[in-house]
DNA sequence: TGACGTCAAGATCCG
DNA sequence: CGGATCTTGACGTCA
């Protein structure tokens, strides 16, 4: 059983993906972006390994315009060495990766050109995983597509188009229930006819339920039978509803108690859980540390990343967590995260925010230039007077942290949450 | 025709 | 000029 996250990692320096607009997508530009993005991918994989995260979704944006303009470029040869390095890291650690074309890859469209582009897109995703030397347990997750006024016809068009895909593509595909069109019952039925495994998405089912009283666990059990030997472990997608955004929108962070409630029901099953959440790796580590004891040192490292974000919310909770981790025999990841969640609910007061910013500034006060000192003090003053945002203060500190390579701060969450 | 979702690029505004 | 804050882009479907 592994818990993972999708596409990008927060507070992992130099791990961002670059892109460009179609009109700037020259060969040189694309190849340079691809090189940069592969470097970023390697940094994310390294981060995952260091932190014991062995489930990860590779972003479709890895190769900009990978299914169209860049499909004609020999990036797999030019970057063969880099791909092989990444491949070795994934395989050596037993990491499982996946990819997930978005809502605009529609295999069952009645429009030929749309289907053709979907095929190209699935070929592209397959090529990435193939180039990394990864077997068919490293999946590509796909939705069924549109309905076009006749769901049965749309389903059969999906099936016939699926059967025309290259077998290398078919072997990797898994089908997922979606937000609006195809609920889990639809997907199970269609997947059965093409022998594809099914990914059950909890939030999609909450928003677009199959009309029966089945609970998450029932659907997860039903989906488990669709996963055969070479497919690897069953996978599910887990996410929670955003507190104010519209139904189906992912939450900022995973609340640990509801997660553990489902997790507790899965104890006799072995499956991989992909989290879909705004704070990505941060919530993945939260869930991992709460279901398995990875030792006090890992937890302390994680606490260190949260420190100033919590100090900014509540000096009291900050002290309480320090106290909690002081006792190496009775420490509890769950308790720590309960306190972190409590703190994150508190609205930020100007006084606490200024206090936290000054703590962060403490890293530089002996080495910063006069200009930097003045810039920070001005910024903080303006924030105190309500003339600028807290994020501006943080951005100022972030630039200084980058300049002085203050890794401890750059690996923490203060600048990002 | 706009909304949907996503994230970075690109454009523009401001001191 | 640099940084903050919009707007656009790229994709297809549906109301």
In this predicted model, what pLDDT tens digit does every residue of A127-151 receive, in sequence order? 999 999 999 999 999 999 999 999 9
Average pLDDT estimate for A173-198: 97
0.75 exceeded by the pTM? yes
CATH number reported for the structural domain that contains residue A98 in this entry:
3.20.20.150
A181 shares a domain with A35? yes
Query: Looking at the C1' of nucleotide B5, which residue has the nearest alpha carbon?
Result: A103
Average pLDDT estimate for A367-391: 91
* Residue spans of beta strands (DSSP E) within A231-361: 234-238, 271-275
CA torsion sign for A56, A62, A67, A72 is: negative
- Confirm whether any atom of chain B, the nucleic acid strand, is less than 7 Å from CB of A269: no
Last residue of a domain, one of A252, A268, A291: A291
Q: Which residues is A96 bridged to in the sheet?
A: A55
- Confirm whether any atom of chain B, the nucleic acid strand, is less than 7 Å from CB of A295: no
A244 shares a domain with A124? yes
Q: What percent of chain A has pLDDT over 70?
A: 100
Last residue of a domain, one of A250, A265, A291: A291
Residue A224 placed within a domain: yes
Nucleotide minimizing C1' to CA distance for residue A398:
C3
- Confirm whether any atom of chain C, the nucleic acid strand, is less than 7 Å from CB of A104: yes
Distance A247 CA to B4 C1' (A): 12
A200 shares a domain with A182? yes
Name the domain count of chain A: 2
pLDDT at residue A108 greater than cutoff 90 = yes
Domain that holds residue A82: 3-291
CA distance A10 to A173: 28
- Confirm whether any atom of chain B, the nucleic acid strand, is less than 7 Å from CB of A24: yes
- Confirm whether any atom of chain C, the nucleic acid strand, is less than 7 Å from CB of A101: no
CA–CA distances in Å: residue A159 to residues A99, A163, A195, A196:
21, 6, 10, 11
Residue A65 placed within a domain: yes
Question: Which 162-181 residues of chain A approach strand C with CB closer than 7 Å?
Answer: 181
A122 shares a domain with A254? yes
Nucleotide minimizing C1' to CA distance for residue A8:
B7
Nucleotide minimizing C1' to CA distance for residue A18:
B8
The rounded mean pLDDT for chain A is 96
CA distance A286 to A289: 5
- Angle of helix A216-224 versus helix A256-265 axis, rounded to 10: 50
Q: Which two three-digit tokens encode residue A235?
A: 């996978």
A92 shares a domain with A148? yes
Residue A32 placed within a domain: yes
Residue A416 placed within a domain: no
Query: Quick one: pLDDT at residue A211?
Result: 76
Q: How confident is the model at residue A268 (pLDDT cuts 50, 70, 90)?
A: confident
A237 shares a domain with A109? yes
Nucleotide minimizing C1' to CA distance for residue A24:
B9
Nucleotide minimizing C1' to CA distance for residue A250:
B5
Last residue of a domain, one of A291, A320, A354: A291
A117 shares a domain with A244? yes
Residue A415 placed within a domain: no
Residue A417 placed within a domain: no
pLDDT at residue A116 greater than cutoff 90 = yes
**Residue in A2, A178, A29, A35 with CA at minimum distance from that of residue A101:** A178
Average pLDDT estimate for A305-312: 97
pLDDT at residue A352 greater than cutoff 80 = yes
The SS3 assignment for A211 reads coil
């Amino acid at each position: 059983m592994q818990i993972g996250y999708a596409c990008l990692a927060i507070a992992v320096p130099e791990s961002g993906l670059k892109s460009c607009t179609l009109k700037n997508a020259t060969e040189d530009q694309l190849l340079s972006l691809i090189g940069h993005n592969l470097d970023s991918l390697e940094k994310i994989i390294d981060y995952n390994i260091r932190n014991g995260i062995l489930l990860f979704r590779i972003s479709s944006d890895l190769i900009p315009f990978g299914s169209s303009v860049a499909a004609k470029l020999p990036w797999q040869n030019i970057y063969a060495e880099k791909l092989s390095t990444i491949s070795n890291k994934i395989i050596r650690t037993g990491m499982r990766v996946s990819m997930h074309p978005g809502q605009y890859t529609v295999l069952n469209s009645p429009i030929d050109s749309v289907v053709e582009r979907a095929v190209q897109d699935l070929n592209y995703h397959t090529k990435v995983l193939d180039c990394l030397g990864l077997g068919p347990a490293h999946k590509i997750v796909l939705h069924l597509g549109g309905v076009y006024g006749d769901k049965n016809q749309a389903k059969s068009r999906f099936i016939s188009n699926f059967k025309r895909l290259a077998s290398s593509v078919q072997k990797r595909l898994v089908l997922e229930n979606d937000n609006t069109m195809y609920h889990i019952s639809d997907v199970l039925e269609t997947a059965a006819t093409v022998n594809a495994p099914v990914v059950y998405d909890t939030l999609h089912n909450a928003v677009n339920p199959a009309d029966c009283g089945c609970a998450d666990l029932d659907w997860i059990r039903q989906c488990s039978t669709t996963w055969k030997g070479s497919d690897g472990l069953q996978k599910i997608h887990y996410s929670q509803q955003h507190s104010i955004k519209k139904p189906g929108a992912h939450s900022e962070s995973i609340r640990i108690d509801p997660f553990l409630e489902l997790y507790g029901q899965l104890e006799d099953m072995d499956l991989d859980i992909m989290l879909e959440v705004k704070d990505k790796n941060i919530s993945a580590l939260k869930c991992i540390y709460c279901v398995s004891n990875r030792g006090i040192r890992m937890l302390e490292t994680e606490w260190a990343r949260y420190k100033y974000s919590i100090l900014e919310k509540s000096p009291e909770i900050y002290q309480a967590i320090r106290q909690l981790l002081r006792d190496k025999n009775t420490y509890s990841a769950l308790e720590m995260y309960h306190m972190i969640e409590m703190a994150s609910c508190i609205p930020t007061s100007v006084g606490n925010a200024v206090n936290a910013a000054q703590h962060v500034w403490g890293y530089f006060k002996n080495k910063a230039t006069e200009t930097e000192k003045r810039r920070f003090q001005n910024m903080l003053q303006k924030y105190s007077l309500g003339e600028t945002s807290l994020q501006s203060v943080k951005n100022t500190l972030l630039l200084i942290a980058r300049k002085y390579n203050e890794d401890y701060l750059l690996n923490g969450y203060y600048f990002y949450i």
